[in-house]
């Protein structure tokens, strides 16, 4: 017999607001019991699927349920670790709140959807409800009154979830669907109260309610992910616009300083246009921003390298001149003349790098020759 389905406890507090220790203790106790009961239930459903002619169609949902359970179980262990048998202060309470209401990475249909811990638990409840119905399991332990009570609780959760939908046509449609489910539940409850057989009516309603709740949870998580992607893209766009201005300044400095200068175009972030308002468009826009980022990195490296070569020539010439003064040959006509030519070449704007490089090397050659002659004497 399949175990009585577990239902996740209500999470205390909310994002950014730490719950009271007493509420956290009750929640962690309920979550631990839910985790153990859900695992036993999933194992039983897995065995039932293997022996059911319709089991193959449930494989994907069973696998997803296992992934959700593992994610919730891992987060539960993190919560218990921070809770540390109740030895918590303000910092730990805030950390517990973040672990409960922050994102819980759970793969959903291969999309990498991120949901919070309470959402993951509710999604698991909804999935298991679908699996029970699809596999046709005899849940004799669940009386009709219990199933009706669970449906009423589920419809209240659905009502709360609809409140998170953006105002507009979609929210109105969702509210209409919820009202339809509530009407069916009321009619079934009235029929059961008259002693009628409602087994054939409860199963379709449970399926529809579980599917609807699942879709609402997934939709809310997708919208949240889309908002996060939009904000991330805006930050990336702003960062590249700032970088573009800095790169243009670097290019001007390089062109004014050295000749020849690199000839890389500076990408124009504004040319990408406004941020798209669709998920697919935003994804393509981020890809193009990535290409702009790579192009800027390439150009920046080339222009900085050219300026660094100019600075290195200055450093070499200064080092050679210090050596010439140290060995007492800096005032000799030929080396003084070579130093003047190299200094003038480097001071010219833009500096003709090929000539300046040869003159610095010429100064080095004179210095080496005079130094060798001095040492021989």
Q: What is the DSSP string of 63-104?
A: HHHHHHHHHHHHHHHHHHHHHGGG---HHHHHHHHHHHHSEE
Q: Which residue has the higher pLDDT, 201 or 233?
A: 233
Q: Categorize the per-residue pLDDT at 198 as very low, low, confident or very high, splitting at 50, 70 and 90.
A: confident
Q: What is the mean pLDDT of the chain?
A: 87
Packing angle, helices 353-376 and 333-347, rounded to 10: 160
* Residue 138 pLDDT greater than 50, yes or no: no
pLDDT of residue 130: 77
What tens digit of pLDDT does each residue of 3-25 get?
A: 556 788 988 888 777 888 899 99
What tens digit of pLDDT does each residue of 244-281 get?
A: 999 999 999 999 999 999 999 999 999 999 999 888 89
* Residue 32 pLDDT greater than 70, yes or no: yes
* Residue 188 pLDDT greater than 60, yes or no: yes
Show Cβ contacts of residue 45 under 8 Å, excluding neighbours closer than 6 positions.
Answer: 2, 58, 62, 65, 128, 131, 132, 135, 137
Average pLDDT over residues 200-226: 88
Show Cβ contacts of residue 322 under 8 Å, excluding neighbours closer than 6 positions.
Answer: none
- pTM of the entire structure? 0.57
pLDDT of residue 371: 83
* Residue 108 pLDDT greater than 60, yes or no: no
CA–CA distance, 239 with 266 (Å, rounded to integer): 15
pLDDT of residue 140: 38
CA–CA distance, 270 with 248 (Å, rounded to integer): 14
What tens digit of pLDDT does each residue of 333-376 get?
A: 989 999 999 999 999 999 999 999 999 999 999 998 888 776 66
Q: Categorize the per-residue pLDDT at 190 as very low, low, confident or very high, splitting at 50, 70 and 90.
A: confident
**287: helix, strand or coil:** helix
Average pLDDT over residues 229-234: 92
What tens digit of pLDDT does each residue of 282-308 get?
A: 999 999 999 999 999 999 999 999 999
* Torsion on CA atoms 363, 367, 368, 373, rounded to nearest 10: 140
Q: Is the dihedral of CA 311, 312, 315, 321 positive or negative?
A: negative
* Domain range list for the chain: 1-138, 237-302, 306-376
Residue count (the chain): 377
pLDDT of residue 44: 85
């Amino acid at each position: 017999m399949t175990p009585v389905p577990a239902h996740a406890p209500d999470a205390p507090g909310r994002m950014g607001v730490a719950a009271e220790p007493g509420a956290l203790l009750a929640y962690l106790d309920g979550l631990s019991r839910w985790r153990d009961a859900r695992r036993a239930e999933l194992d039983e459903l897995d065995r039932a699927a293997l022996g059911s002619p319709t089991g193959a169609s449930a494989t994907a949902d069973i696998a997803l349920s296992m992934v959700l359970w593992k994610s919730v179980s891992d987060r539960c262990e993190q919560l218990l670790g921070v809770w540390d048998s109740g030895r918590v202060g303000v910092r730990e309470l805030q950390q517990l709140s973040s672990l409960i209401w922050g994102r819980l990475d759970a793969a959903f249909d291969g999309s990498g959807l991120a949901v919070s811990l309470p959402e993951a638990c509710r999604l698991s409840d909804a999935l298991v409800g679908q699996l029970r119905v699809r596999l046709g399991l005899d849940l004799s332990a669940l009386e009709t009154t219990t199933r009706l009570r669970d449906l009423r609780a589920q419809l209240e959760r659905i009502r709360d979830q609809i409140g998170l939908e953006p105002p507009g046509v979609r929210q109105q449609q969702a509210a209409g669907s919820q009202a339809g489910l509530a009407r069916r539940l009321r009619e079934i409850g009235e029929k059961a109260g008259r002693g009628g057989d409602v087994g054939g009516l409860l199963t379709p309603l449970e399926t529809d309610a579980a599917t609807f709740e699942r879709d609402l949870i997934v939709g809310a998580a997708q919208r949240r992910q889309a908002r996060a992607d939009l904000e991330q893209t805006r930050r990336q766009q702003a960062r590249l616009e700032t970088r573009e201005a800095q790169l243009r300044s670097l290019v001007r400095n390089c062109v004014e300083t050295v000749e020849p200068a690199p000839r890389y175009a500076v990408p124009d972030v504004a040319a990408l246009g406004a941020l798209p308002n669709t998920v697919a468009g935003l994804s393509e826009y981020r890809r193009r921003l990535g290409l702009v980022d790579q192009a800027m990195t390439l150009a920046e490296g080339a222009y900085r390298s050219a300026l660094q070569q100019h600075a290195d020539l200055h450093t070499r010439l200064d080092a050679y001149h210090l050596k010439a003064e140290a060995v007492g040959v800096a005032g000799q006509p030929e080396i003084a003349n070579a130093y003047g030519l190299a200094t003038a070449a480097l001071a010219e704007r833009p500096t003709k790098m090929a000539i300046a490089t040869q003159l610095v090397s010429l100064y080095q050659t004179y210095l080496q020759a005079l130094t060798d002659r001095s040492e021989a004497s």
